[in-house]
Structure 1
């Protein structure tokens, strides 16, 4: 496994890191166990966020007394200086540390800069001066905002979705980060669960020497798969490139990544699953998707008023109401037996 330096931060880490969003879904004991096993297996970079409910607390429990051995990144969704300082102090307390290695503005809609009137970047500078954060980063889902952040020269890292479904424009963003010595933290390397070949996903990442993928882990078998790559990293050889090309052909066009930033829906539609149901029942098949619970949730699409509030919030500017309708029509065709979906047994 290649060791990389994360942009200008000087943080050195294997090119294989832990995304701590999913550990909020398991017990505290299981979460702490996963984090410690990840470290024992060679991972040293752990990414969490104030928005991930109890994730920070669990990271703090796992690594108390080990501060110099791991790099901890967290994030704030604050949009005012007052909320920034409240978030930072809460994060430090829960993480059981007096500083974080990387503090990131979380899912920004704009590039915060000194003198922009928000006071937000000034907060980052003051926190760094106080020694409460070591490095300043940003996460984004809107591509042009991401470009602006990198071009500003104000951020040491950018966290952005990256998988082998990336567009040419997104790959240019990766290249720009390399040129500007900005560390690229790759989230959603599995495209929100649509990609199921871990070897292919990892092999894709290894072609970029400045990219650090963070894999969301909540089960031991998932962690085992990623840790196995520490000693035998998959290669992007001719066969792997052919597989990725076939996947890209199947998933070409507009599709929902499942990020959930479109939510909540005024009609209580579970948009981040319903808008990609056609793909889920084919790529992650389970009787659960076709059961009574999800039939009811899919039928809720009929209540859509096409207010387009979801589309306004969507980082990928998808026409979500139309995407929902297409998924509902396909879903009903599958239920009626008019469309064959292989492998619909229990997972």
Structure 2
């Protein structure tokens, strides 16, 4: 498979790389086996985050014996210097390593988050100290906002940037990617399937891999998925006009106002499983399995109509979705 130098770092990463967001203890295919399979295939960049549940620990179990085979990255979603420093130490322990190659300021998608992490009491100083101490090698920045990505690049403080790379996020592809490339900053793609929204995932992945990025992360739930994705990347083919039209038609149908299933809106103050509600709504609207969607919705302990409209979820959503109103319409469809 093609490998690319990650910006000005000395990391040479596989074009298709492993995203640990979907890993958890109760997977049908054991999480450790999935990570091991990725390494067996030659994938050499593995990404995770402190807020990805058990992901760091599960990856760390594999790193006990295979740390030398890959580059590791993790992320802190905390904003203060003290908490971010604590996260780095926890990540090191969880991942069974004494050094993490790349550590990101995670999901900087609001102006106030950017200002906080860049301040003397924020995440960036903590990561610089960790870098000086040899705990991490490079510092990254992940975001869902193109304007903040530009600010991060202009700051000169970051070695790599993580962006959503799919047909919906054209601002990143058309504006941020060439800007980062010119600045010599490593470019890591996430969300190639837009949170599972595309009905033709293989085509969507090929679209993302065709962009001018160094690594495209894929979240994996089954061994068969990493095998299929590896095959796509290893024998890459550009999209045909027909395939491109298929993706564009899907994008028009979805619009911009849809849930990417990132889960950053959680926890809900009354325990509504917000991403699941929107997933079942998608099943009913786009996959023509309305009866199944309603059955699954009925099994949720807390229904969407129990929303208290506190607004906490909307504050957290990196895509600034009108979650409260969307929950109301989803409940009407699924009840």
Q: Same fold (TM over 0.5)?
A: yes
Shift, 1:136, TM fit: 0.3
SS at match of 2:141: strand
Counterpart position of 1:124: 127
- Spell out the pairing of 1:176-215 with structure 2 (5 A cutoff): 176-215=179-218
Counterpart position of 2:51: 51
Q: Distance in 2 between matches of 1:284 and 1:153?
A: 45
- Spell out the pairing of 1:3-22 with structure 2 (5 A cutoff): 3-22=3-22
Counterpart position of 1:338: none
The answer to whether residue 74 in structure 2 is matched with residue 71 in structure 1 is: no
The partner residue of 1:140 within 137, 140, 143 is: 143
SS at match of 2:303: helix
Work out which of the two has the higher radius of gyration on C-alpha atoms and give 1 or 2.
1
Shift, 1:308, TM fit: 2.9
Unaligned residue ranges in structure 1 (runs of 5+): 333-347
Shift, 1:249, TM fit: 1.7
Q: Structure 1 residues 300, 33: CA separation in 2 closer, same or farther (over 3 Å shift)?
A: closer
Normalised TM-score (structure 2): 0.88
Structure 1 stretch displaced more, 181-190 or 105-114: 105-114
Q: Tell me the matched-pair count.
A: 331
The partner residue of 1:239 within 214, 218, 242 is: 242
Q: Distance in 2 between matches of 1:214 and 1:255?
A: 21
CA contact (8 A) 2:16 2:217 kept: yes
Q: Structure 1 residues 86, 253: CA separation in 2 closer, same or farther (over 3 Å shift)?
A: closer
Structure 1 stretch displaced more, 69-78 or 79-88: 79-88
- Spell out the pairing of 1:5-44 with structure 2 (5 A cutoff): 5-26=5-26, 30-44=30-44
Shift, 1:269, TM fit: 2.3
Shift, 1:103, TM fit: 0.8
The answer to whether residue 274 in structure 2 is matched with residue 271 in structure 1 is: yes
Q: CA offsets per residue over residues 162-193 of structure 1, 9 Å max, x none?
A: 22222446642223222222222222211112
Counterpart position of 1:337: none
CA contact (8 A) 1:299 1:328 kept: no
The partner residue of 2:306 within 303, 321, 342 is: 303
Counterpart position of 1:344: none
The answer to whether residue 289 in structure 2 is matched with residue 290 in structure 1 is: no
Structure 1 stretch displaced more, 99-108 or 23-32: 23-32
SS at match of 1:184: strand
Q: Distance in 1 between matches of 2:287 and 2:10?
A: 39
The answer to whether residue 250 in structure 2 is matched with residue 251 in structure 1 is: no
Q: CA RMSD in A?
A: 2.6
Counterpart position of 1:331: 334
The answer to whether residue 319 in structure 2 is matched with residue 316 in structure 1 is: yes
Q: Structure 1 residues 236, 74: CA separation in 2 closer, same or farther (over 3 Å shift)?
A: same
Normalised TM-score (structure 1): 0.85
Q: Distance in 2 between matches of 1:319 and 1:84?
A: 30
Q: Distance in 2 between matches of 1:54 and 1:114?
A: 25
Unaligned residue ranges in structure 2 (runs of 5+): none
Q: Distance in 1 between matches of 2:328 and 2:146?
A: 26
Q: Distance in 2 between matches of 1:328 and 1:115?
A: 40
Q: Distance in 1 between matches of 2:283 and 2:25?
A: 20
SS at match of 1:280: helix
Q: Structure 1 residues 310, 60: CA separation in 2 closer, same or farther (over 3 Å shift)?
A: closer
The partner residue of 1:166 within 164, 169, 172 is: 169
